[in-house]
Amino acid sequence: MFKSTSTQASASDPNLKSKQQAAEAVFAYLEPWIDRHTVLGIGTGSTTNCFIELLSNLKGKFQGAVASSQATEAQLKAKGIETLDLNTTGTLPFYIDGADEFDPHLNLIKGGGGALTREKIVAACSDQFLCIVDQSKRVDVLGTFPLPIEVIPMARSYVGRQIVQLNGDPALREGFLSDNGNPIIDIHHLSISTPLDWEQRLNNIPGVVSVGLFAHRGADKIFMSTASGVEVLERPQFT
Ligand code: 5RP
């Protein structure tokens, strides 16, 4: 079984420049807020890895970071950034992470890298969720990207059957276990026009650990890189 890994930023990634641009924009936004007491929450994925590269320039000027995955923890440590246990930090001022899809209300699908549960926990413990994406992640309605859910191993088939009843098309992520030792089911062919309802409905299935829909706690700001620069989108107040 493979463990959860981040999607590494690679030089052959056609979106690498866009991801770097988004990371640079969030870094510029954050820099004035960072002092020696600051602890940041850090997500998982290739866009977040671009941000970690930049963050390493501030090494020693802030306290450290809480990682949302083992892969991110290794990445932070490799850059000389101290990693902290969320149980010791209290609420974090900022959580910085990418997304697989976002809609106009800044609801997200996350978990393409399989780190959704820890991502959700760190996001929940943070005052502001700053999401960094390239324009390709924008959709009108979530669901083209298969929705990941993490499940307790013995509930895998049961959860799959419940998803079929909801007209979803579940596929076990083969050869993969999360950092928590659990399988991931990717739900294909959903059209998630009511993300709050879907998140609640799927969360209520016994055996579901977490759902990669970030609607109850969506992004507060999205830094989206486009051909003409980075746009900052704000979550509408009533969603
Ligand atoms: C990992 C995630 C990532 O944020 C998401 O998959 C986006 O990754 P990338 O920045 O590589 O496109 O949710 O679980």
Ligand 1 atom with the smallest distance to the CA of 132 is 10
The pocket around ligand 1, CB under 6 angstroms, is made up of 7, 43-47, 97-100, 110-116, 119
How many A from CA of 46 to the centre of ligand 1?
7
Structure tokens at 20: 């770097």
pTM of the full predicted structure? 0.94
Please state, for a pLDDT cut of 70, what percent of the chain lies above it.
95
Q: What are phi and psi of 2, to 5 degrees?
A: -80, 150
Q: Which of the four pLDDT bands, split at 50, 70 and 90, describes residue 38?
A: very high
Q: What is the pLDDT of residues 196-232, one digit of tens each?
A: 999 999 999 999 999 999 999 999 999 999 999 999 9
Separation of alpha carbons 182 and 22, rounded Å: 31
Q: Is residue 174 helix, strand or coil? A: coil
Query: Of 234, 237, 238, whose CA–CA distance to 221 is shortest?
Result: 234
